[in-house]
Amino acid sequence: MQLPDRRGEHEVVENQVVENQVAAPDRAAAAPAPVRAITNGATPNGTTRAPSSDPAPVPAAPPPAPERHEDTSADHGAAAPPPAVPETGSRDPAPVAAPVPPPAPTRGVSARSPRELLERSLAALEPVSDAEAGPFAARFAADYLSFDQDDPALRAEVLRGYLADPAAALLGWSGRGRQRCEFVLPGRTLRTDDGVVVVEVTARVVTYARSPEVDEGPGVDVGAAQPGPSSSIGRSCAPSPTGRGWVAGGAHWVQLAPPVRRHRTGRLVIDLGAPPAVEDGRR
């Protein structure tokens, strides 16, 4: 009996086996990973899994960083450049602050002319004491507060002997009326930083009114014609207590503060231009 020839079948099977061995790695790489089912309960190795309805928590994403807007010269204006600092070894010198101007000269003793400073006596350098300034300021106040319309030149003549500036002799009176200072009480003193002593004085004055029976013609002041006492140190412009055509009125208290200093000759004067600054920066 003759067997059938099966050599061709064996060759086909061998070729199929070779092809499967060659293509197996490619199919293994392309095949998706097997999905394992998650069950509620124990796993084959004895561990416990979480229920499928409770997924693992996912960490929250960090907040987005705020956007940074850069200022531009068009929107917010150009920033001011930093002050220029000279480099080490630079030829440009560092800026120097402007010098402070000297203080303006004050009126009074410090504002005297060079000639007045040279021609002054040694007595002008002596400080003014309160014992000197008080009576002198009281005398000035008595004459400053006294005037008489019937003799208008007398007051200016008397005040020129007190004042450092004779041009101020007409100060404090309009040229009309009659007034007499009866007495003056010198009080406290205050010394300024340049040797001026300001004296506070309180005076009582009596005012007068024209008598209705007499016209406003010039009257006769009998007291003005009488000679003064031998101890007189100067004439006063205070009118007599009585005068033709005048009737005494009420009395009033008045307060003044004359500034006293020394003249270049050493005598005392009333300096109405004395500076107001006093010692220790007080005013």
Q: Are 155 and 185 a contacting pair, CB within 8 Å?
A: no
Give the per-residue pLDDT at 123.
82
Which structural domains are found in the chain, ordered by start?
A: 109-214+235-273 (3.10.450.540)
- Flag whether pLDDT at 280 surpasses 80: no
Burial class (CB in 10 A: 0-12, 13-18, 19+), 74: exposed
Of 166, 138, 124, 129, nearest to 262 by C-alpha is 124
What tens digit of pLDDT does each residue of 150-171 get?
Answer: 999 999 999 999 999 999 999 9
What tens digit of pLDDT does each residue of 95-129 get?
Answer: 666 666 655 544 444 456 788 778 778 888 889 99
For the chain, the average pLDDT equals 73
